[in-house]
Structures are given as C-alpha cells and as structure tokens.
Amino acid sequence: MNQSISALIVDDDSLMRSYLRTILNESGIVAIEETGTGEGALRSLQQKVPQLLLLDINLPDKNGIDVLKEIRIDYPKLHVIMISGELTSERAKDCLEYGAKGFIVKPFNAAVVIRYIEKVLGKLSG
C-alpha cells in the first residue's frame, strides 16, 4: 500500500489500538494517529484529516455511530470503517446508512483488517 496514506484509530482499548497500528504498519501505512475517545477523534480530525478512520462503536464518552454522524457533516469524503464486538444487523445498517464504508467484528485477525483496508482504499493506493 502507498505509504502516503494516513489513518486515525479510535478505540478505547489501548491493546486494540496497538494491534491495529501494527496491522496498518505491516500494510505500509505509517502515518497513524490514535485516540481512545470520540471527542479525541473529533479533535484529531480538526488538526489533520486522514484518508482512513477505524472507529470503534463502543467508546467511553460517545457512541461511535454518533461520532460517525458528526464526522459526516464536516468530512464527507473520509473513509470510515467501523469496529465492534457487538455488531447487530441493525447497527451494521446504521453504520452504512451514515456513511461507513464497512465494519469489522471483533475478534478479528490481521487478514480481515487488511482486506477491508485494501477494499476501501484501493483507489487511493494505486
């Protein structure tokens, strides 16, 4: 993948953020920011907008779907992949309705994440 692609990881679990960072690094994405809260994600986006956002649904301060709704207002072209350990079909539908490009269900392995990233960012990494 193109190393100029940047990403933001939003998950309240620091081990999950570390695992996702490792997967992204192994995929060639080296410009990675991370935060553990929805507010942190919104603040980070005000500083720099990445091409990819990995966004957990269950955050300590906000619901990730609500964060997604807010993000869509100011950053409609941002590629968002939702992450959750409890993804129901209704939640999945909501994620897609509010502009997520896909969703990854925990637990997952590196191959699943890489497949989603390549699918979502394929046109950017060419």
Instruction: Give the domains, in start order, of the chain with CATH numbers.
Output: 6-124 (3.40.50.2300)
Beta-sheet pairing, 6-10 with 102-105: unpaired
Q: How far is CA 26 from CA 8, 77, 117, in A?
A: 16, 25, 12
Give the span between the Cα atoms of 58 and 111, in whole angstroms.
23
* pLDDT tens-digit series, residues 32-49: 999 999 999 999 999 999
Q: Residue 86 has what pLDDT?
A: 83
Q: How far apart are CA 3 and CA 41, in angstroms?
A: 22
Neighbour-count burial of 65, counting CB atoms closer than 10 A to its CB (0-12 exposed, 13-18 middle, 19+ buried): middle
Q: Is 123 exposed, middle or buried (0-12, 13-18, 19+ CB in 10 A)?
A: exposed
Sequential pLDDT tens for the chain (126 residues): 556 899 999 999 999 999 999 999 988 898 999 999 999 999 999 999 999 999 999 999 999 999 999 999 999 999 999 999 887 889 888 999 999 998 899 999 999 999 999 888 775 544
3-state secondary structure of 100: coil
